[in-house]
Each structure stands twice: as structure tokens, then as C-alpha cells.
Structure 1
Amino acid sequence: MTDRRPQPRAAVFRRAALSLALIAGVGAVHAAEPAPAADPARCHAGAYRLDDGRVVDIGAVATPGTLRWRLMDGRTGKLTQRDGAWTSTRGWTDRPDGVAVSFGDCAQGRIRYDGHAGRKLRFDIRETRFQGNGVELRGRLVLPEGRDKVPLVVLVHGSENYSGVDLYHLQNLFPANGVGVFVYDKRGTGGSTGKYNQNFYQLSDDAAAALREAKRLAGARAGRTGFQGGSQGGWVAPLAASKEPQAEFVVVGFGLADGVLAEDRDQVAMDLRAAGFGDADTLAKAREVSDVTGLIASSDGQRGWDELAALRAKYGEQPWWKALKGEYTGLVINKTRAEVLAELAKQDVDVSWDYDPMPVLRGLRAPQLWIVGGSDLEAPSDETQKRLVGLAGEGRPITTAVFPAADHGMLEFDVDAKGERQHTRVADGYFRMQLDWIKRGALDHAPYGSAQVLAQPK
């Protein structure tokens, strides 16, 4: 939901150690602090209606003097100001895209985007503070202007530790397309009190409280109301819906229908296949290793070391051992115990390692839409797809769609000469699919780009 380039896994480990945080947004784990409120570029943030009828969203990002534009079809670019002029680069790359963007005076709310004039849309906005689970949270309700009822969606956080109120772009893009949004700062971030954590049980309590506050503020204008969560929000949003009977739907993007440890486990298998070690015997042996590194991670380094030493003695000389990567497995096996413990000691985010999402997904009566990326490196989706299709087959109200070429964040990409992914845009159809389903509970305007619908309720 914000603007950060996906980070190499080694950098993720150094910064987030073994927290397995899945960001709701555009890539891997982020630890950005928000731009100062005095950043003059922020006055341009908002949704603009162009003279050809299109909407372009201008979003604030964490770097001062920088903005991001987005179109409904997923095209996007980073705007950087130099000497009073704005330069646009394609997606999250540094390559110029030739898109010309300029703004008028902030009070005028005018834009010129790629040869088209536009004016900033006005919304009905209410700021609020409300009680979560033992914390006071800052929130904002954003509704399209008017008096009519509108669908209302509460944006549930991923693992980010910055202000959603300041930086989430969907608070402009969705209202510009007829859907109200309630956005809030998760505990310990932005204007909310408490300590930042990744405790899904507490975070889901906060999200449920956010939905109640959204309904209260919207009053008679609140239509169909539910949650939207990306990445780690895929664990939190359904859990919140199971606690809040007013929740009428859940939308999940690039989340997992498996436990927290599955992220590393599935990444290990993916990396081995990419390195040419995809036979069943090797993958089974690697699973032994990832189970033990998961034990080390989930016990804060208190358990698993003897088991790891035994596996290293058993498999350490085999050629696939050096190809072990994953979210953290490769780093744990290549660092000393003291180094890993030192990293773990820096982390105190109370990850819900024990959380099993399947009982919640199986028991949830509110309809769910899950959208996953078929090329997701951070949250490999094969097992999630199987589980969700299976739940739909059991008669659960779950619709599942996959964008085959999309990475985490539903981002499409090029591959550079070094083999690194360069994220270029959001998958075409991702925004439209969510809006249609939030408004009507149906995917009735297909096709949605390259999306494949895997299962729908019978």
C-alpha cells in the first residue's frame, strides 16, 4: 500500500530477522518511517479526474519530495521533484517512462498528467480516534461525496510499521470509484498508541474495532461493509471477520491460507527447484531442515540447535545444502548460533507463530475473495491455492483468483541481466476485481487482465 522497493532476502533478515513479516503493499518486508508531515509534496496527494474520464491516483510515499501515480489498470510510476519539475520512472524501477506530470497550486487541486488536465476529487472525510484492544487508534473515514449508501471497506494492515492514514493510497483510489474506505494506524505506528507487534489475535481485535468505528461514523451511508487485507493482513482480516458479526465480506490479496512457518518452507522448496534440485527426495530432506529452522525461529532460539547440528552432519556435504535459502533458513544455517541469537534478541514483535488460519477460513460465513500471485517469491501461493479451492469444494463461500505472472503485491516484473526482478506495475485487473467484488459480491465484469478464477461458491 505504500512505496518501497522489494528488498533482497539478506537485507530482510538483517532488518527483520525471523519475524516473517509479510507487507501489505508492494514487495517484501519494509521498515520505512513516514515522511515528515511538513513535506510540501504531500499536498498533491489525492485522486484526480482527468478530462478523458480516467482517474489518476497521486499517493504520498515515505521519501520526502516523492510521490507515486497510479491508474486503475495498474500502471504506475514514481515521481521525483528536481528543480521544481517532476520526473516519472516506470513502476519501481529507475527507468524513465516518458510520462509528464505537473501540478498547479495546492489550493487549486489541479494536475496535468501525460497531456490531460485534471482536477482533484473531493471526498467526505472524517478523522477519528477509537479504542482497540487496550490501545487508542487513529483512524480516517473517506467517502465519496453525496448522501447515497456506498460499500465500505476497512483496510487491514500487513506487517508495515508506518502510518496507514498518511500513506495508504486506496483511501483515494477506492472512493474515486464509489467505495468508501476506513483507514487507521495500527498499534504502535503513526498516531496510534501501544507497541507495534505482529500478534494476529490483538491486531484482529483492533481491526474489528475499526469496522465498528467505520460503521458508526458512516451511519446511514454505510452499505455492504467488510475488510480488505494484503499479505499479513490475509491472516488478520479473516480472523477479525470471525469476531465481528457486522463484517459482510473479506478481500485478501497475496496472503497465505497456511501458517506463518509456511512462508519459509515454501520459499525453500521454490529456491531448490530453481537451482535444479526439485526431485521429491531432496525436497523431503530440505523440509526436515526448514522444520528445524522454523523451530529455532518460533522458539526465539531456545530450541532446535541439536536437531540442526544433526541435519548438518547428515546433509551438509550434499550439493543442494548450499542452495537452501528461503525467508530465513539459508541464513540460519550459515550463521553461528551466537549470531542468530543476537539477531533474535533485537526482535520483540510477538509473532503469532502458532496461528492456523484454516479453522477460521472454514468456519467464516462472510464471503471471501482471495487474489494471489502465481509468481510470488515472498509468499509462494501453490499450497494456498490448493487449500482455498478445497474449501470452495466443501461449500465454503470462497472465491479464489490467481494472476499467474504476479509477484508479491500483485506486481508484474521484468528480469534484469543479473536475474533480479524489476517491478514495473500492478497487474491489470487487480483493482477492478476488488472493486467489483466489494460492490456486488461478484466478478461480473471479466476478464480481469490475465487473472484466472480457480474456484467460486456453487
Structure 2
Amino acid sequence: METAEIRDVVFVNGAVRLAGSLGLPAPSRSARAGVVLVGGSGPTDRDNDTFFPPLRHHLLNAGIAVLSYDKRGVGASSGDWRAATLTDLATDASAALDFLRSQPEVQARTAGFFGHSEGGWVVLRAATARDDLPWVVTNSCPGVSPAVQERYALANHLRETHPGSRADTESTLALYDRLVEAGRRDADFATALRLVDTAGRPPGLAYYWADLDDRLWTFLKRKQDHDPTTDLVGLRCPHLAFFGGQDRVVPVADSLHVLGAALCHAKRPRRATLTVEVLPEADHRLQSPGTTEPAPGYLDKLTRWLLQH
């Protein structure tokens, strides 16, 4: 029985060397479409932890070629994602798409982007810079800014880990707000550290603060007020947006409002249709909560839409 082929590949974006995995359907089947998978926040590799492998397997079985890659500075890729802007990461995604389209097994006009979480912001930015995309898919991509999204996630974390401690929750969120304001003033990491120390380093803040250092603080300052609305309005291709109804990381209702407003904007091209799928029982990764299994219907809905477009 023929199986899909998955091989290590390398491509470049300027001075950055990006390493990834290219999956091609079984040799007897030409690729019916191609997709670049772009991972979420932090040091995400080509598998986005454990999220991408089952997605890759399903897409390959549907005859769809798949390329995913280590974020710059992660795994076998050079560079440093913490020194990058979202636009830099978008040009990495665009270089990945060009590489995928250069493969003889892939029909160039069929290939587009899939971005998970922060990767959604990345692929929306990459999509608005191109005129040749057939479609773009975002998966749990916030319609709000990173600062608003992180506050929502932190609030949920505090309520779930410190139930009944309303005063502690509010004081930790107030500290978070002070850190965001410090970032807007371009305060250095030492200043941010003093704010946290003065507040007594509340344990609940570790959800947001635990891994912060000078370079990561600088990265967060740079992106915290990113507004995806401009890219949503500038889309020139069909857009499929997935959300999980049990997502505790992204404010889904607020994100849907932003997507709807962008869709109705006078400057949004008519070709840029919007399809939204909210799976009521799915979490941030569109999995059934407490499991690593894709939510029922998720993968079938994804492949059906891709092959229709």
C-alpha cells in the first residue's frame, strides 16, 4: 500500500534559513491542493508541539500537500523570533508558500496558508501582501490585539486556578494592565521587573510572566497592540476562520464581532468571502477539551472547504 512521503527541507527568507517538513500525498496521487501550516506563539517548531502531526496526516490522506517549518530561531531554523516583527514572520510564511509552490507535485494556484492562533495574525499579514492566494485559513486566531487576548487568557487562568479569590484575581489583572501600559511607554525590562516585584510577584501572574526575559519583553512590547483589522479588511481571497466554543485563550465572541465588521467594510474586496466555523465543544486547538483528539467534524470541515476552494 502506498504511503505519503514526508521529507526534511530547507528554504530561505533573506538571511534566515528555515527548516521544515514537506509532506506529499502517495506517489499515485497528485496533490489536489497545498497548504503551509504556521504555528502559534512562542518557540513553535514544525509540529507545533503535538498539534500539527494529526492535521498533517489527515490532509495528506485527502490528497493535500503540507509544508510546516520551525519558526526562526527554533529547531533547525536560524535567526531569532524574539527579534522579529509579525511582518518578519509573515515574510517567512510567504517564503514557505513560494517553496511549496515550487514543488513539481504541487499545483501552485491551489496552495494557501493555515495559521494557528498567533500564526493566524501571521498568515493574514502574509495574505494581504500577495495577489495570488486562492484562500487563507485561520485557526483560533484572535480578532483582538495581543494585549487584549493575553488579558482574557490570564483572567480565565486565574479564575480556574484561584476560584473564589476575586480580590487576588483583580489585583493580578491590574498589575497586568500596568505592565501593558509600561510597554506602551517603551519601558525597559528592569522597569517591568520592578513593577512585578513591587506587587509581590503574585503567583497567578506566572502564567504570563514566568518565561519573560529582556528579549521576550521587547518582542511583547513590539506586538502587544497589533490590530488584525487592517489585514482582515485588506484580504483579497476567501477566508475560513475556525474557533472552539470552549477556548479559554481567545475571546471568541469579540473576535467574531471584529471579523464581521471587517467583512462589511466598504474597502474589503468582494472576493474576500468569510466562512466561520465555531465548534461548540472544542478548545483552543479545536480538540475535545482534556484530550488530544480533534473535535468531531473539525478535520472533515477543513478538508471539504479547502477542496471546494
- Using structure 1 for the length normalisation, give the TM-score: 0.54
Following superposition, the deviation at residue 348 of structure 1 comes to 6.4
**Aligned 8 A contact 2:121 2:228 in 1:** yes
Q: Is the 8 A contact 1:232 1:255 kept in 2?
A: yes
Q: 1-side partners of 2:99 and 2:178: how far apart?
A: 42
Once residues 6 and 284 of structure 2 are traced to their aligned partners in structure 1, the CA distance between those partners, rounded to angstroms, is 31
Query: Displacement, 1:184?
Result: 2.0
- 2:4 maps to which of 96, 100, 123: 123
Task: Tell me which protein shows more helix as a share of its residues.
Answer: 2
Deviation at 1:304, TM superposition (A): 7.3
What is the match of residue 285 of structure 2? Answer: 409
Relative to its length, the structure with more strand (as a share) is 1
Q: Which residue of 1 aligns with 2:33?
A: 151
Cα distance in 1 for partners of 2:14, 2:111 equals: 21
Q: Does the CA-based 8 Å contact 1:156-1:229 persist in structure 2?
A: yes
Deviations 1:188-229 (A, max 9, x none): 122222224363111111100110111011466345210001
Query: 5 Å matches for 1:3-402?
Result: 121-125=2-6, 127-144=8-25, 145-146=27-28, 148-161=30-43, 163-164=45-46, 168-169=52-53, 170-197=55-82, 199-218=85-104, 221-267=107-153, 270=156, 290-296=176-182, 299-301=187-189, 327-328=207-208, 343-345=212-214, 347=216, 350-351=219-220, 352-394=223-265, 396-402=272-278
Q: Secondary structure at the match of 1:244?
A: coil
Once the two structures are TM-superposed, the CA of residue 149 in structure 1 deviates from its matched residue by: 5.0
Residue 261 of structure 1 deviates from its aligned partner by 0.4
**Larger mean Cα displacement after TM superposition, 388-397 or 173-182:** 388-397
Q: What is the aligned-residue RMSD (CA, Å)?
A: 3.7
Do the aligned residues in 1 keep the contact of 2:30 with 2:105 (CA within 8 Å)? Answer: no
**Which residue identity lines up with residue 237 of structure 1 in the other structure?**
V
Offset, 1:406: 1.9
TM-score by length of 2: 0.77
Q: Any stretches of 5+ residues in structure 1 without a counterpart? A: 1-118, 313-321, 332-339, 414-421, 442-458
Instruction: Determine the structure 2 residue equivalent to 1:88.
Output: none
User: 1 CA distance for matches of 2:203 and 2:245?
Assistant: 22
Offset at residue 134 of structure 1 (A): 2.2
1:437 positional shift: 1.4
For the residues of structure 2 that align with 1:326 and 1:362, how far apart are their CA atoms?
Answer: 35
Q: How many positions carry a matched residue from both structures?
A: 290
CA shift at 1:374, angstroms? 1.8
Q: Percent identity?
A: 28
Return the alpha-carbon distance in structure 1 between the equivalents of residues 196 and 206 of structure 2: 16
C-alpha deviation, 1:358, in angstroms: 0.9
Work out whether residues 31 and 105 of structure 2, in 8 Å CA contact, stay in contact via their aligned partners in 1.
no
**Which piece of structure 1 moves more, 233-242 or 395-404?**
395-404
Distance in 1, Cα, partners of 2:144 & 2:237: 19
The SS at the match of 2:123 is helix
1:92-143 Cα shifts (integer Å, max 9, x gaps): xxxxxxxxxxxxxxxxxxxxxxxxxxx6x42245543221142011234322
State the 1:159 CA deviation. 2.5
Determine the structure 2 residue equivalent to 1:91: none
Amino acid at match of 1:256: P
Change in CA separation of 1:218 and 1:296 when aligned onto 2, cut-off 3 Å:
farther
Q: How far, CA to CA, are the matches of 1:302 and 1:230 in structure 2?
A: 32
2:143 touches 2:259 (CA, 8 Å); kept in 1? yes
Query: Closer, same or farther in 2 for the Cα pair 1:359/1:308, shift >3 Å?
Result: same
Q: Do the aligned partners of 2:157 and 2:207 also contact (CA within 8 Å) in 1?
A: no
